[in-house]
Amino acid sequence: MSIRNIAANVFTGKLEKFSNRHEGETCYIFGDGPSIKWFDFSEFSNHPAICCGMIPFHKDFDKLDVRYIALVEPWLFVPKIFQPKILHCLRQIAAEYKCRIASLPDKEFFVSLSNLFSLSGKNINYVYRNLPNSRNQTDMDLNQFDCFGGSFHASLSLAYYMGFKKIYLVGFDAWTIQPARTLRWYELGDGEYFNPTNFALEYLKVLKQEIDIYTISKDGKSCNVKNISYASFTGKQPEYTENYELLSGHMLKVLGTCHEYKIISTGN
């Protein structure tokens, strides 16, 4: 094991308290895909949830039973001088997220170890590449991947580590739903179709030995997990809601400071 990994294990050891915390349970994992715009969050309140991205700013966030939030972008909260230039446009968003973290002391946040000296608190947990310990062969197999290299891998790795045995993915349009759509629920429009090249097939192959994984879609199918339509899952038809109806006017303006996002700055 390298010196870097040994040092990382010292600071990520706090994760061990989550091992099998939810053994045998079911959970939802929420991503930022555009299909979120069609879904009523009150239909997903019956199981614990893990979320990532901007879901904590969704107007109906409190309708979910969110216990855990993954925000694993490296260097997101560090001073500008230490931050890659590509992240400079996210500084105002990161500042809003710091406030949101402070307002949710009952939620556990998982952030990149690179933010160690810039973000701390009782509900802050640091992650770096691998699970904190190898409990079995599946742990060792997963640690061949970068388990925290992005929101999709991080949230699923955490769900597995916590012992969940059934997972419903919601809003992972680019990873699990075909035809795939890009853009995010907080951007304007219903998403743009594209041809994805990464389905995380080998990573999911390992996970599916331990977990039953579904994706909930508006009207699509999936090549890497089990697909179930929103209508079948809830007994209701999906209804489209635009981004300015799902976010406060203030957050729309904050998101609009990042020119990468297609935002309309209106709302209440």
What pLDDT does 267 receive? 47
- Positions in the chain short of pLDDT 70: 1-11, 265-268
Per-residue pLDDT tens over the stretch 227-258: 999 999 999 999 999 999 999 999 999 999 99
Cα distance between residue 223 and residue 7, in whole Å: 38
Per-residue pLDDT tens over the stretch 51-91: 999 999 999 999 999 999 999 999 999 999 999 999 999 99
What pLDDT does 264 receive? 72
Cβ-contact 165, 212 below 8 angstroms: yes
- Side chain identity, residue 88: H
**Per-domain boundaries in the chain:** 25-255
What pLDDT does 197 receive? 87
What pLDDT does 268 receive? 44
Handedness of CA 229, 34, 238, 167 (dihedral sign): positive
What pLDDT does 8 receive? 59
What pLDDT does 12 receive? 75
- Which residue matches tokens 């694993």? 72
Domain formed by 25-255, architecture: Alpha-Beta Complex (3.90)
What are the beta bridge partners of residue 112? Answer: 127
Cα distance between residue 172 and residue 227, in whole Å: 12
Q: Please state whether 215 falls in left (phi above 0), alpha (psi between -120 and 50) or beta.
A: beta
What pLDDT does 71 receive? 97
